[in-house]
Structure 1
Amino acid sequence: MKNILEIENLSISTKLSETEINIVDGISLSVSVGEVTGLIGESGSGKSITALAVMGLLPSNLKISSGSIKLDGLELTSVSQKHFHNIRGKIAAMIFQEPMTSLNPVIKIGEQIAEVFKLHCRLTKKDAHNKAVEALSKVGIGDPKKRAEQYPYQLSGGMRQRVMIAMALASEPKLLIADEPTTALDVTVQAQILELLHSIIETEKEKGILFISHNIGVVSEIADKAVVIYSGRDVESGDAEALLNMPQHPYTEGLIASMPKHSNKSKRLCTIPGQIPRPIERLSGCSFRNRCSFAKEICSEEISVQSKNGYKLRCIKELK
């Protein structure tokens, strides 16, 4: 299956007191058309920074120091910001975590979506408005004509997230990046948003989705492939079902063990001791070794990536 996004050994760095520090340290992942790739990790692991790099939206204090990002065959690491204006929206679009801060509070919903159609599709004001109403209907918003005349504060959290999805889909991008799109939504609305994203992939086979979340349970509901990152590095990746049912990296095992189980509500939750290190505190070799019960002396050395049948593991444990 064709890859719409290919990231290889991507490192993103910043300068701290004249010292260059990698925030993202050699991440590799891919998104195929007709599939969802889940990117899993704790806050501060480098998930959102990786997504911003794909969109050409890195903060000024960060830069891509090495590696490759290919979007629909185009190498993005050498693309100018001027060229990125033609990429954002048309080839790749992003759904941000907080729709309330992403939407303009003083502009009507319909006008905000219509602006995308005017910018990328060169439509007249009337045609763009009609398209905006149609876009709201496509993402399951009832009475779209009425909603188009409302402001963001008049919509529920779930509806605002649907508006963000409608805006992202407006110019029919090939890659959709969803950055924690279900955070702060109740369980019922979460399920509705996941179902909407799943239906997009089912009906539009030429699209691919990069779904970013700290919630491994949410990723299990939607992803075909999964990538687990820790402290700026991918530690395990492959078929989502295999990864989530039979994890091989100790960090992935810990994440899954810490999930609440409906079958045993009285049992104390498992936890991973310690906390994710800041980039400046990152250990040599495996960054997880000070929290890992399987750690050996060799873990302080550089750990190579094992690969078998599309499954990858960055650990001294033998890949099964």
Structure 2
Amino acid sequence: MTSSATDPVLRVEDLRIRLGQRPVVDGLSFAVQPGERVCLIGPSGSGKSLTAGAILGLTPPAARIDGAIRLNGLEVGGVRATRRPAQARAGMVFQNTQAALNPLVSVGVQLREPFRRFQGLYRREAQQAAVALLGRMNLAEPERVMRRSPAELSGGQRQRACLALALACRPSLIVADEPTTALDVLTQAEVLALLRETTGTADTPALLFISHDMAAASRLCERALIIDQGRLVESGRLADIIAAPRHRFSRELVAALGHRERLQAPADPPRRGETPRLRAAG
């Protein structure tokens, strides 16, 4: 049974993940609604990337998963991504863009495939759609980018190509796991702006943004889930958490934003070429 328009695109209930005998995620529950941008924030080792892997069906073989994960109403907990039906797959954008793209195949071949597979376009139409989508990603000379291999692109260019690949599959949800961590500050701002422009509306995918960076999340998301040691320790509107954090780790995150200047959530995305500015907290 698939979900209705009022049901969450993602529901996680009592998720528990073990690596061997070691518990990594312990009783995690949350939901993401259509048109929503939600951040899952936690320190290194908190289980946030394993949670992303469980949602996407990409956990390591040693991981044991218990609990429920429903994408568009379909139970997919413990089911590998390749065995899931199309409506129960999420789009993915990862930190490691070199691993996310096939190094032996041009960007154009990789990007045409979802247009042909999921949208039924012929090769020429798929080529035109792929070029147009790369243009929307603010990639200069998208026709040339289509002919290049991933190794010939910069990290920022590859991340834009990965976002285009995720969008071309027309998912109801995109999971972005630390997508800006390996990028320079200006490229980070541009990628965050693209994520904001292409997700979180009635006509675009919902977004689960996974990060350890409160500043990046503040530019993008309205709601936050804070996890520590595999457990949900705080959740709510991101602006409220920034204004009055309750948990120790939340307070540490907010303190890192600075005493005099704190990002408001959500902040307006910077224009292309504009240096992102912090807003004074008052």
TM-score under structure 1 length normalisation: 0.74
More displaced 10-residue stretch of structure 1: 152-161 or 182-191: 152-161
Give me the whole-angstrom Cα distance separating, in 1, the residues matched to 2:200 and 2:9.
16
Q: AA paired with 2:19?
A: T
Q: Structure 1 residue 201 and structure 2 residue 202: aligned? A: no
**2:16 aligned with 1:11:** yes
Distance 1:248 1:203, change over 3 A: closer
Q: Quote how far apart the aligned CAs of 1:246 are.
A: 0.9
Moved more, 76-85 or 91-100: 76-85
Secondary structure at the residue paired with 2:84? helix
Aligned to 1:46: 47
Percentage identity across paired residues of the two chains: 39
How far does residue 260 in structure 1 lie from its aligned partner after superposition? 4.4
SS in 2 for 1:64: strand
User: In 2 relative to 1, CA 176–82 (structure 1 residues): closer, same or farther, beyond 3 Å?
Assistant: closer
| Unmatched runs of 5 consecutive residues or more in structure 1 | 264-320
For these two proteins, the number of residue pairs brought into alignment is 257
- Partner residue, 2:57: 56
Cα distance change on mapping 1:81 and 1:189 into 2, 3 Å: closer
Give 1:60's aligned amino acid. P
User: What pairs up with 1:85-124 in 2 under 5 angstroms?
Assistant: 86-87=86-87, 91-124=89-122
Q: Is the 8 A contact 2:12 2:29 kept in 1?
A: yes
Give the direction of change, closer, same or farther, for the CA distance of 1:44–1:208 in structure 2 (3 Å limit): same
SS in 2 for 1:196: helix
Measured after TM superposition, the shift of residue 54 of structure 1 is 0.9
Corresponding residue SS for 1:163 = helix
2:54 partner letter = A
Pairwise CA RMSD of aligned residues? 2.2
Moved more, 41-50 or 133-142: 133-142
Deviation at 1:176, TM superposition (A): 0.5
For residues 139-288 of structure 1, what are the structure 2 equivalents within 5 Å?
139-201=137-199, 205-261=203-259
Distance across 2 between alignment mates of 1:48 and 1:176:
14
The residue that corresponds to 1:70 in the other structure is 70
Structure number, greater radius of gyration: 1
Gaps of 5+ in 2: 1-5, 262-282
* Distance in 2, Cα, partners of 1:32 & 1:203: 10
Q: Which runs of 4+ in 1 moved over 4 A?
A: 78-82, 260-263
| TM-score, structure 2 as length reference | 0.83
By how many angstroms is 1:191 displaced?
A: 1.1
Q: Is the 8 A contact 1:55 1:84 kept in 2?
A: no
Q: What are the superposed Cα offsets for residues 220-266 of structure 1, whole Å, 9 maximum, x if unpaired? A: 11111101111111111111111122111122112222344566xxx
CA deviations over 1:147-201 (Å, ceiling 9, x no partner): 1111223222211110000000012100000111111211111111111111113
Structure 2 CA distance, aligned partners of 1:12 and 1:69?
12
Confirm or deny: 8 A CA contact 1:9 1:26 kept in the other structure. Answer: yes
Match of 1:301 in 2: none
8 A Cα contact 2:92 2:176, kept in partner: yes
